[in-house]
Amino acid sequence: MIIDAHHHLWQPARGDYHWMRGATDILLRDYMPRDMAPLLERFGVTRTIVVQAAQTRAETDFLLALAAETDFIAGVVGWLDMESEDFALQLASYRTRPKFVGIRPMLQDLPDDEWILRPAVLRSLGAIADSGLAFDVLTFPRHLGAVASALEKVSGLRAVIDHISKPPIAAGTLDPWRDPIARVAGFDGVHCKISGMVTEADAARWRVSDLEPYVHHVVACFGPERLMFGSDWPVCRLASEYGDVLAAAMLSLPPELRSDPRIFSANAARFYRI
């Protein structure tokens, strides 16, 4: 059994995907459960976590509606306005919704690299920690220092770093990513997704060997008990198809972990409480 802990679904005509302006044709189409189902069946993926791709409550509601009618979707990581004065009330309301498992702000797209340290955001992080819901962290390496500072200020936050924080894989350099990701890994309970790597590599010529140094580093930092697989489908299609992404995640791990059920199922089920 495999759990895909990170993918997206969308309908561009809904109109709230700010990042789609100028996107390539392969992304500018509907991606719905019916499009994903054959891939999951082919590769033995039984459950998934669908993650927000728009900074609106409307998209969160859209994903929850899809989850309600789709058996393979086990959880939804949505978006809520973490600077809103009534964030705690919003969170309490959404927490009662079936399959709502976490929150993700799109830190990588915000103009303030230290947004997560704003007082209102820290209060909201405290509310998330108290709720027991998950917090997905979408960052580039330059954000990790602020993330570590936020983790120091908010105890008990159950956080996961998406896409191993998008290191410069295409350039083949580990720095300045290597030390900040290790610092974040030092906080108890913080997890990391082996996902989103092929689109940070050379999309036309990437190889598994390009990914290995980065994957081996997060294995050393987080250990196999705090890692989980995510396809980042359909964004991954910019560089590769679903089966190749799954194979690359397996083959980039140390040999003894390439079929580890913790990384490919159990950790995601435990972390998202599905």
Q: Is the peptide bond before 176 cis (omega within 30 degrees of 0)?
A: yes
Angle 129-134-138 from CA coordinates, rounded to 5°: 110
> What does the pLDDT average to over 142-160?
98
> Which pLDDT value is given to residue 64?
98
3-state helix vs strand vs coil in the chain, percent to 5: 45, 15, 40
Contact status, residue 190 vs residue 151, Cβ threshold 8 Å: yes
- Look-up of token digits 């719905």: 32
> Which pLDDT value is given to residue 7?
99
> Which pLDDT value is given to residue 188?
93
Q: Give the mean pLDDT of the chain.
A: 98
> Which pLDDT value is given to residue 26?
97
Confidence bin at 178 (pLDDT 50/70/90):
very high
> Which pLDDT value is given to residue 251?
98
**pLDDT tens track for 234-248:** 999 999 999 999 999
Confidence bin at 52 (pLDDT 50/70/90):
very high
- Rounded to whole angstroms, the Cα distance separating 8 from 6 reads 7
Alpha helices in 51-170 (DSSP H): 57-68, 87-95, 119-131, 144-153
**pLDDT tens track for 89-148:** 999 999 999 999 999 999 999 999 999 999 999 999 999 999 999 999 999 999 999 999
> Which pLDDT value is given to residue 86?
97
Determine the angle formed by the axes of helices 144-153 and 178-185, rounding to 10 degrees. 20
Sequential DSSP letters for 68-82? HT-TTEEEEEE---T
- Rounded to whole angstroms, the Cα distance separating 199 from 169 reads 9
Q: Which of 250, 245, 244 lies closest to 265 in space, CA to CA?
A: 250
**pLDDT tens track for 204-225:** 999 999 999 999 999 999 999 9
The verdict on pTM exceeding 0.85 is yes
Which domains are seen in the chain, by residue range? 2-272 (3.20.20.140)
At 45, list the tokens. Answer: 């993926």
Confidence bin at 260 (pLDDT 50/70/90):
very high
> Which pLDDT value is given to residue 238?
97
